[in-house]
Amino acid sequence: MDRQIRPIYEALDTNSNKSAILACNKVLKKQPNNLLVKALKALALVRSQKVEEALVLCDEVLAAKPADEATLAAMMHVLRGLGRHMDMVTMYDDAYKQQPANEELGTQTFFANVRIGNWKAAQQIATKMHKQFQDEHYLYWNVMSALLQAKDPNTPETLRPVLLKLAQRLVSQSPTPSYYNADRFHLHVTVLKELGLYDEAYELIESEAGKIICSQFLMCEELRREIWKLKGLTREAGERAEQQILEAKDRNWLEFLAVLDATFADLTVEGADVESAKGSSAERITQTRELFGKVVEQDGVKDRSGHLALLELEKRCRHHGLATDSTTLTSLLESYFQHFGGKACCFEDLKPYIELEGEDLATWTSVLEKQTAQATSVPDLWRFINAQKLLRYNLTEAQLTPEAETQRAVQCLNAYLEGLHLGKDLPSYELQPADDLAVLAAQIFVNIWKRTGDQTPLYNAAALLEYATTKSKMSYQIRLHLIRIYRLLGLPSLALEHYRGINVKQVQNDTLSHFLLSRASTFSLAATGDITYTNECMETSRIYVSNSEETSEFIVRAFGGEKYSQIPDFILFEECLDNSLQRDLIKMEHVRMRIAHEAINSELVDMELIELKFIFDRLEALVHHDNRDFSILANYQPRCGASFIDQTESLEKTPGFGWLWVFLKIYIKAFQLASDLDDTVEDKLLIGDRPKPSNDPETKLPLKERLTKRKQEEINELSSDEAAFYDYASALSEWLTPYHDYARPPPSVVLAEAAKLTEQKTGHTLKGLELPPDAATNGNGKKDEEPPAVVEPPASISKHFDDVLQRFKEVLDGKAVPFELLHVVTLAQEAYLLFAIETTRFKTASVIKQNKFGGLSQHIKDIRNKSTAVINEMSGALLNRAESEATQESRKAVIEACKPIIHESGLDHDFVLNVAKKITDARKQIYDGIGKGMAKLAKTYA
Amino acid sequence: MSVTRSFKATDLFKFNHINLDLWTETYAISFYLSYLSRWPDMCAVQETPQGRMMGYVIGKAEGSGTERHGHVTALSVAPEYRRLGVSRRFMAWLEKVSDENYRGLFVDLYVRCVNFAAIQMYEGMGYSVYRRVREYYSNLGLGHSVRDEEDGFDMRKPLPRDPMRRSVRSNGRDIVVSANEVP
């Protein structure tokens, strides 16, 4: 036996799935009922994407209720690959019931429940295992499961305290005290904390053993701080922190905060007598000032904490009206700047303390203005950079005239070029110390554009950043700036080039891909067959697959290794990725690109319908997370205006949940109309687990109603063109719904067809499907009702194309950034495609004839002709524009625009000419591609 | 000055400005979670008063007998927070944990032979080269000799449980081993 099985495992281990299947077949020929081999074959099939065949085998093995470990292990991988975690639970459950003395099986059953977050069952199994096998760690599994169940949003409110008390009772039964293991101790204290038993928690933490654990394990130390806070020990925490600072020379900022909180404790207590509290606080403020003063004296420039703590103290004094000397704040700021102005973090450190007005601001400004650009050392240079950032932060509206801003930008640029000398000996892969001056200059140019609408400053920003990136090849900051600007300028190929230069990997695909893929369908040339951006969506989305395949295994491992402190965070992490907003936004963009690239047939429509509905249900049922990293982009814009990221956001609207809702509704509705699948059919055809239903009453409404619900807060996230597109899509689907509903073949027919296809493909019948005897023969289910009368389409549908054309002409000749032009154009194309999706059914002559839809056909033809003409006109105009892009004149215009930044050497005329060439070539490419793509689509769907 | 706290799984969403760096690798999710699920007490973050991550360290405990030691798998600080003693605090902390929680005799780490800044920094903290490991890293294409770019130094520092400093040696740079000879 072993001799036959080994080659199968070997083939699987080396990922040779084909030979694994062959080896399995060989054994199965002689032993057709060998469960292990069937399971292994299913695994090889899953891995080679042959899902249908795998399903058949998988179900056969499951039906036989396997109980040996080898088969179970193989099936675990099969079921995980198919996303059938529920079945995995059932399988292990059955096996464990057959062999209740098998500890390994019990453990696996527990883990199977952990993987799907079924804490209730997990807890019951742990209870049973503890009773039977007496090992203490099962007791703690039990405690952890009870705690997680208590925290689960689906657990009823009343049950939570019961579960927590159970957890507490269990811990107290442990023969060895929890402090023998840091993670058990952590769990114990957490349970007490959740129960609000702060005194008990405190006692545990402050015990001899507890103190040692907290000093050795950061996560326990964090819990200690929390318990102190919850117990209201602000004053005591302050005293303890003072000791830490003075005696242990601890410079953890949390200690300083503890001292500060204690200083103002009397004032922050609810219902305190403010006047008397002020009196006692004043005294304490003096003491605290002395303490921090001592720290400053001891540390000098070695550590920033004392200095920063003095600033925080003064800020809080001012907040409570306890500041005695109005010059203290500015002199502290000045001192801080003198000590740490040479460090890169100075601006961030001081930002919370410089929202100044009047005299304070004037004093502070004069301090900063003394800083000259002449830098003979890197710290000197940083002092200048920090001064510029700090000054800029407080600039007022009146100071932001284009002239003044241009002067500032040029000053920063000159200082940058000068500052490059300080880094001239650095290896090419190091960052230049002057980089931030280039970034500052670029942000100032962007600000001018934002305030005047004149695009020439954007070219200045782009060209100088291109120069900076040749000097600092590894600077992601410079590249991110370029990506933002190139997107505005409608240059996706250049944005992509810099995005790739950043080398985004792994989990960063979730947090950083928005820089490239937000509204990416605007830039897609999928209609011409160029699927660069489509592929980028696919590649980026892989991280979500690895998350759902891998992360739960580590939750299991954390249980196995008793690292309870990590489990809640692992679960949260998994959820954040699984229910990531960016994940669904990418999916939406992918769909929008896909319909331009592929033939709109039932395969595409059905698949996307199922996937989008899945996302829709999940979005309603589960908390979603926006993990997009916006803070990575530096912001040096004045506080009186918008931040750099907001300024450079396409159309000033960042797609968020509302945006996603709208587009999901549009496309689900459209695909529903086009598809023959209705809910009953879909249920039968879907494999894998469904999202858990939520308790929100709104989600209980029928899908139809949920799809037509319009919410203002969602519409607020749309650009005006997108909002118009939404109106159009709603009107279109509303008009066509009755005709689709009437003409759609009945479910039995659709299912029969699906069964036939499956059988052809796999040689097996579709599982769990019982067809009424007449279904297969009765092809066009005769209808009892009369067909709906054909009515005129609402005028708004046809008018939408007039409006779009009008908008197009405006943006083509106006001041709008090229992004907006592309946005208008691609949305027009999308409206056109949506029309094609929703009218394909009525292209078939027999459908029209059978349902007496002759009138409908004419209406559709009218709109189609009209929209095709509009699309062709836009395409022609865009192709014309493309011709005028990559010419000498257009390059000249860019160079002319860049006059303020052209220098004699380095960033010289030739360098800018190269940038101009890159820009104009890329612009030609995108206009040309989009224009041709539209023409092609107009031909296909005319 | 900073807030030192434990490294959490969700910090992976917040470490971009640290990881978009030539010397820092962004690994698969499983890499970070496998460390957190075994040595959560050897992974830490420092953040600014505003809550921005400044850097992180990921370590493990390995070896037995006289080889029992703490290992620094990854340590990285964002460019804007360098020269503030962040790394020094991480290393001091990890040495303490290696000693107190795991009774280690030394702490060791690997560094590219061409990462001069890092080597100098570790030497300043009392680390010395124990051996040179051939082809430990992939090539970065920085223009150094291939050998220097791909080789790594194994650097060590003895802890109080090794008062005789048996875990280090003075001629470590001359001792060359191949990558498969090290754990």
Residue with tokens 């000068």: A418
- Domain membership of residue A83 (yes or no) is yes
- Dihedral angle over CA of A325, A327, A330, A334, nearest 10: -110
Q: What is the C-alpha to C-alpha distance for residues A312 and A253, in angstroms, rounded to an integer?
A: 11
Q: What residues form DSSP beta bridges with B4?
A: B46
Residue with tokens 């589960």: A622
Q: Tell me what the mean pLDDT of segment B42-69 comes to.
A: 97
Q: What residues form DSSP beta bridges with B176?
A: B132
Which H or E run includes B53? Answer: strand B53-62
Sign of CA dihedral A908, A912, A915, A921: negative
- Domain membership of residue A35 (yes or no) is yes
pLDDT of residue A521: 97
Counting every residue written for chain A, the total comes to: 942
Q: What is the C-alpha to C-alpha distance for residues B176 and B166, in angstroms, rounded to an integer?
A: 19
pLDDT of residue A440: 98
pLDDT of residue A279: 86
pLDDT of residue A684: 64
- Domain membership of residue A92 (yes or no) is yes
Sheet with B152-158, side-by-side order of all strands: B3-6, B43-47, B53-62, B69-77, B106-112, B152-158, B128-134, B176-178
Residues 6+ apart with CB under 8 A from A770: none
Residue A155 corresponds to which tokens in the numbers above?
């657990």
Phi, psi of A495 (to 5 degrees): -60, -45
**Interface predicted TM-score (ipTM) over 0.90:** yes
Spell A303-318 as b/e; 16+ CB within 10 A means b.
bbbbbbbbbbbbbbbe
How far does the CA of residue A401 sit from the closest CA of chain B (Å)?
31
Residue A153, exposed/middle/buried by CB under 10 A (0-12, 13-18, 19+)? exposed
| 8 A C-beta contact, residue B54 and residue B48 | yes
pLDDT of residue A940: 96
Q: Tell me what the mean pLDDT of segment B79-96 comes to.
A: 96
What single string gives the DSSP state of each residue in B135-150? Answer: T-S----SSS-HHHHH
Q: Does pTM top 0.90 for this prediction?
A: yes
How far does the CA of residue B38 sit from the closest CA of chain A (Å)?
7
From chain A, the residues in CB contact with B36 under 8 A are 554, 558, 563, 566, 569-570
Q: Which of A674, A728, A609, A679 is CA-nearest to residue A844?
A: A674
Spell A448-484 as b/e; 16+ CB within 10 A means b.
bbbbeeeebbbbbbbbbbbbbbebbebbbbbbbbbbb
The CATH number of whichever domain residue A81 belongs to comes to 1.25.40.1040
Whether the CB of A476 is below 8 Å from some CB of chain B: the reply is: yes
Q: What is the pLDDT of residues B162-181, one digit of tens each?
A: 999 999 999 999 999 999 88
Whether the CB of A348 is below 8 Å from some CB of chain B: the reply is: yes
A710 CA to centre of own chain: 24
Classify residue A646 as left (phi > 0), alpha (psi -120 to 50) or beta.
alpha
CA distances (Å), A605 to each of A557, A757, A766, in order?
40, 17, 21
Q: Could you tell me the residue range of the domain that residue A189 belongs to?
A: 1-201
Contact B33 A550 (CB under 8 A): yes
Contact A506 B26 (CB under 8 A): yes
Q: What is the pLDDT of residues A289-323, one digit of tens each?
A: 999 999 999 999 999 999 999 999 999 999 999 99
Q: Which of A827, A822, A836 is CA-nearest to residue A800?
A: A827
Q: Which of A121, A39, A122 is CA-nearest to residue A76?
A: A39
Phi, psi of A171 (to 5 degrees): -60, -40
Q: How far apart are the first and last CA of chain A?
A: 64
Within 728-787 of A, beta carbons closer than 8 Å to B belong to: none
Contact B83 A304 (CB under 8 A): no
Nearest beta carbon to residue A547 from set B19, B29, B80: B29
- Domain membership of residue A447 (yes or no) is no
DSSP three-state, residue A906: coil
Q: Which of B80, B77, B99 is CA-nearest to residue B4?
A: B77
Q: What residues form DSSP beta bridges with B129?
A: B155
Q: What is the C-alpha to C-alpha distance for residues A345 and B17, in angstroms, rounded to an integer?
A: 14
By CA distance, what is B28's nearest residue in A? A506
Total number of domains constituting chain A = 1
CA distances (Å), A931 to each of A524, A821, A934, in order?
12, 12, 5
A656 CA to centre of own chain: 10
By CA distance, what is A213's nearest residue in B? B101
pLDDT of residue A150: 97
Contact A344 B82 (CB under 8 A): yes
Look up residue A366 and give its amino acid: S
Average pLDDT, chain A: 93
Residue A260, exposed/middle/buried by CB under 10 A (0-12, 13-18, 19+)? buried
Q: What is the C-alpha to C-alpha distance for residues A671 and A673, in angstroms, rounded to an integer?
A: 5
Within 428-447 of A, beta carbons closer than 8 Å to B belong to: 428-429, 431
Q: Which of A89, A204, A96, A186 is CA-nearest to residue A147?
A: A186
Q: What is the C-alpha to C-alpha distance for residues A301 and B28, in angstroms, rounded to an integer?
A: 39
More confident residue, B119 or A756: B119
pLDDT of residue A773: 56
Q: What is the pLDDT of residues A746-787, one digit of tens each?
A: 888 888 887 887 777 767 666 556 665 554 444 455 567 888
Q: What is the C-alpha to C-alpha distance for residues A460 and A457, in angstroms, rounded to an integer?
A: 5
Q: Tell me what the mean pLDDT of segment B113-133 comes to.
A: 95
Here the contacts of A121-126 (C-beta below 8 Å, separation 24 or greater) are: A121/A89, A122/A148, A123/A149, A125/A96
pLDDT of residue A776: 46
- Domain membership of residue A17 (yes or no) is yes
- Domain membership of residue A511 (yes or no) is no
| 8 A C-beta contact, residue A46 and residue A76 | no
Helices (H), A152-207: 159-173, 182-194, 198-205
What single string gives the DSSP state of each residue in B55-70? Answer: EEEEEEEE--GGG-EE
| Count of CB atoms situated within 10 Å of the CB of A18 | 11
Q: Please, what is the angle between helix A435-452 and helix A456-471, to 10°?
A: 170
What single string gives the DSSP state of each residue in A38-56? Answer: HHHHHHHHHHTT-HHHHHH
- Domain membership of residue A824 (yes or no) is no
Look up residue A343 and give its amino acid: K
Phi, psi of B2 (to 5 degrees): -175, 175
Contact A557 B16 (CB under 8 A): no
Contact B37 A561 (CB under 8 A): yes
Q: What is the C-alpha to C-alpha distance for residues A642 and A442, in angstroms, rounded to an integer?
A: 15
Q: What is the pLDDT of residues A256-278, one digit of tens each?
A: 999 999 999 988 877 778 888 88
Residue A466 corresponds to which tokens in the numbers above?
């291109």
DSSP three-state, residue B47: strand
Q: How far apart are the first and last CA of chain B?
A: 35
By CA distance, what is A545's nearest residue in B? B29
More confident residue, B147 or B43: B43
Residue with tokens 């890197």: A378
- Domain membership of residue A650 (yes or no) is no
Q: Please, what is the angle between helix A103-115 and helix A69-82, to 10°?
A: 0
pLDDT of residue A777: 46
Flag residues of chain A having pLDDT under 70.
1, 680, 683-699, 762, 764-783
| Count of CB atoms situated within 10 Å of the CB of A922 | 22
Q: What is the C-alpha to C-alpha distance for residues A638 and A756, in angstroms, rounded to an integer?
A: 66
